[in-house]
Amino acid sequence: MSKRFIKWIKNKIDVVKLIYRICPICHEENDINSEFAHVKDTDINGRGRGRIERKYDVLKNVDCYRFMHKECHIYYDNVLRE
């Protein structure tokens, strides 16, 4: 990926984070430690916070992710998802 494309992805991710600034689990405002959690499967699985491939996958499949606190993400994966 070119540097220009990577910069575009990062800018778009920042916009998505602003749109989804409220955690869907605890209903508090997200913070610096918040992350994207899968709510539907995509081609990329597992943890990969910060990787550019993950960010691009979020942009391509925004309806398959929710932006939430790390603790809420763990709770979602371990309790709510099952």
pLDDT band at 82 (very low <50, low <70, confident <90, very high): low
pLDDT of residue 15: 93
Cα(62)–Cα(42) distance, integer angstroms: 10
Give backbone dihedrals phi and psi of 48, rounded to 5 degrees, phi first: -160, 40
Tens-digit pLDDT profile for residues 13-56: 999 999 999 999 999 999 988 999 988 988 876 665 558 888 89
What's the pLDDT score for residue 48? 58
User: What is the 8-class DSSP label of residue 64?
Assistant: G
Q: What is the pLDDT of residue 51?
A: 80
Of 29, 19, 26, 30, the closest CA to residue 58 belongs to 19
pTM for the model: 0.81
CB 69 within 8 A of CB 26: yes
